[in-house]
Amino acid sequence: MAASKLSTVMTPKRWKMVRKGVQYVALGAFFVLFIASRRGGWAAEVVNAPMRLDPLGMLANLLASRTPLAGSALALVIVLLTLVFGRAWCGWLCPLGTVLDIFTPQRKLQPIFKEPARLRSIKYALLLITVIAALFTNLTLLIFDPLTILFRTLTVAVWPAIDRILSAVETALYNAPLLQDPINAFDKVARPALLPDTPLYYRDAALFAAFFIGLIALNWLAARFWCRYLCPLGGLLGLFSKVSLVRREVVASACTGCDACARLCPTGTIQLGKNGASDPSECTMCLECLRACPRGGETFKPVLKPAKLQPYDPSRRQVLASIGAAAVGVGVLRSETAARRDDAHLIRPPGARENDLSAKCIRCGECMRACPTGALQPALFEAGLEGVWTPVLLPRIGYCDYSCNACGQVCPVAAIPPQTLDDKRLTVIGKAYINTNRCIAWADHRDCIVCEEMCPLPEKAITLVESADSPVKLPVVNRERCIGCGICEYKCPLNQAAIQVYAIGQSPS
């Protein structure tokens, strides 16, 4: 009875409105938490909650790190949600899914290519390889996790670009005296709360933008192409959905086989000619089909038996193939030269190197967002292909702020260990070396003590010595004291710094 009452209040149109409302609220919340992830924003355990809600990231991290984290248990909320409502996460909550919905071209809902169903197995393959690779302590494929994709892209490409555009507009308009006060007022509100007060730079921002644009562009081949065929998190939730409670069922007596529902389904799971049957592993519970059926034949109700297997579901053969692929893949990645010897400039965030970062990092980019100087950058190949997009500190782009421990706080999986500021100040991430052939003081005998001036240590790790051969004071590094924060390299006035920080473990001692 309650159900029928609900159905009279909640017309299909209203269901759609409610779903869209929830989607936009969830996307908005993701944006707000993204913005508040900056150092000086909200509490770390609040802002990194979306990452900890992600069952794929948390599962892979658990398998690779073999360390259960209390915070990761948050992901069970989404697992439970899925066991009850199937892939409702995908249709109602996933911020990337909502972005893809926004950029869906009309009248192009269904694939424009043949045999689309076979592609659906890609996401399971990706999922299985990700999970099995995680058993080999490899998390590289988490770069395809939808939450990390969105967060990373916002950090590296979208937000800096918005800042750059707004700054250009502000600078141009600032020439008009009348506009100066409103611009100052805007800056007061927006910076640093929303946008950085000094511009941040990220390496290869265009690459990240292109990846994201490509992902959206796939929507022109089929609506939610990513969610249907590729998303490994969708695959994981799809497996849970095989036994989910509430499912879409068609009232056989009402169905005339008109296929209106099939045409409207954004994941294309409603099968033509099979009385509108659908696969709960593909259904995102978006409820669009309610609207389609002219005879009200669509119902969503509790079903207790497991869903039927589909041809694209992972077979024993596919599982075995995935194990093989993961093993070969990890083997190949670890045959790279990067695995033999780390790059001398692979400076990790404080404490992360000793903490086995590569076996824990889920590539979400929270640390890069939190880093106030923009020092933390996505690694390209410093750590080999295996470590792609893990955080690496580039002193020439930014330095490790002596009064900041934000990266360790915000990391959702403690890949960068959370440290007190006092401990972080003692954590050595590298050691500075002076190239005396280029140094202004050493090579050209001109006054320059910038590195010494900048050194933040109470007992400076860079000191100035007098020499009979030189009319000016010469900087030297006291390697016992140096923690490798890199402010010396960052501030060196030369176009290529004459003082450089080398990763620890590499330096001749």
Take residue 422 and report the two structure tokens written for it: 């006092």
Provide the mask over 27-56, with x wherever binding to another protein is found by CB under 8 A and - wherever it is not.
Answer: ------------xx----------------
In whole angstroms, the minimum distance from the beta carbon of 231 to another protein comes to 25
Touching another protein, residues 180-239 (CB under 8 A): 187-188, 191-192, 197-199
Q: Which stretch binds another protein (CB under 8 A): 267-275, 319-327, 380-388, 489-497?
A: 489-497
Is 493 an interacting residue with respect to another protein (CB under 8 A)? Answer: yes
Nearer to another protein, 187 or 336 (CB): 187
Q: Which stretch binds another protein (CB under 8 A): 144-152, 202-210, 219-227, 484-492?
A: 484-492
In whole angstroms, the minimum distance from the beta carbon of 204 to another protein comes to 23
Q: Do residues 138 and 63 touch, judged by C-beta distance below 8 A? A: no
Least Cα distance to 482 among 382, 400, 419, 367 occurs for: 400
Is 459 an interacting residue with respect to another protein (CB under 8 A)? Answer: yes
What is the enclosing helix (H) or strand (E) of 502? strand 499-503
Take residue 476 and report the two structure tokens written for it: 């030297």
In whole angstroms, the minimum distance from the beta carbon of 286 to another protein comes to 15
In whole angstroms, the minimum distance from the beta carbon of 146 to another protein comes to 23
Q: Which stretch binds another protein (CB under 8 A): 215-223, 292-300, 334-342, 485-493?
A: 485-493
Q: Residues in contact with another protein, total (CB under 8 A)?
A: 46
In whole angstroms, the minimum distance from the beta carbon of 94 to another protein comes to 20
Provide the mask over 360-399, with x wherever binding to another protein is found by CB under 8 A and - wherever it is not.
Answer: ------------xx--------------------------
At residue 473, the 3 state secondary structure works out as: strand
Take residue 48 and report the two structure tokens written for it: 């990194």
| Burial (CB count within 10 angstroms: exposed 0-12, middle 13-18, buried 19+), residue 200 | buried
In whole angstroms, the minimum distance from the beta carbon of 469 to another protein comes to 19
Least Cα distance to 391 among 351, 431, 433, 339 occurs for: 351
Size of the chain in residues: 509
Nearer to another protein, 163 or 282 (CB): 163
Single out the residue of 263, 334, 473, 479 in contact with another protein (rule: CB under 8 A). Answer: 473
Q: DSSP E strands: which ranges in 415-480?
A: 430-434, 462-467, 470-477
Single out the residue of 157, 293, 404, 498 in contact with another protein (rule: CB under 8 A). Answer: 404
Nearer to another protein, 78 or 492 (CB): 492
Take residue 71 and report the two structure tokens written for it: 């915070």
Is 437 an interacting residue with respect to another protein (CB under 8 A)? Answer: no
Q: What distance in Å separates the CA atoms of residue 390 and residue 280, rounded to the nearest whole number? A: 35
Q: What distance in Å separates the CA atoms of residue 390 and residue 377, rounded to the nearest whole number? A: 8
Q: What distance in Å separates the CA atoms of residue 250 and residue 113, rounded to the nearest whole number? A: 27
Q: Which stretch binds another protein (CB under 8 A): 239-247, 260-268, 383-391, 457-465?
A: 457-465
Nearer to another protein, 189 or 304 (CB): 189
In whole angstroms, the minimum distance from the beta carbon of 427 to another protein comes to 16
Q: Which stretch binds another protein (CB under 8 A): 162-170, 270-278, 283-291, 353-361?
A: 162-170
Is 169 an interacting residue with respect to another protein (CB under 8 A)? Answer: yes
In whole angstroms, the minimum distance from the beta carbon of 457 to another protein comes to 7
Q: Do residues 375 and 350 touch, judged by C-beta distance below 8 A? A: no
In the DSSP assignment, the letter for residue 104 is P
Take residue 463 and report the two structure tokens written for it: 């000191």
Single out the residue of 167, 299, 318, 419 in contact with another protein (rule: CB under 8 A). Answer: 167
Single out the residue of 456, 479, 481, 505 in contact with another protein (rule: CB under 8 A). Answer: 456
Q: Do residues 204 and 380 touch, judged by C-beta distance below 8 A? A: yes
Take residue 457 and report the two structure tokens written for it: 């240590």
Q: What distance in Å separates the CA atoms of residue 322 and residue 59, rounded to the nearest whole number? A: 17
Take residue 252 and report the two structure tokens written for it: 């056989």
Is 106 an interacting residue with respect to another protein (CB under 8 A)? Answer: yes
Single out the residue of 249, 336, 356, 401 in contact with another protein (rule: CB under 8 A). Answer: 401
Is 454 an interacting residue with respect to another protein (CB under 8 A)? Answer: yes
What is the enclosing helix (H) or strand (E) of 499? strand 499-503
Compute CA distances 39 → 196, 304, 360, 421, whole Å: 11, 47, 22, 13
How do the residues of the chain divide into helix, strand and coil, expressed in percent and rounded to 5? 50, 10, 45
Q: Do residues 249 and 140 touch, judged by C-beta distance below 8 A? A: no
Is 263 an interacting residue with respect to another protein (CB under 8 A)? Answer: no
Query: Footprint of another protein on this chain (CB under 8 A)?
Result: 39-40, 106, 167, 169-177, 187-188, 191-192, 197-199, 372-373, 401-404, 446-450, 452-460, 464, 473, 487, 491-493
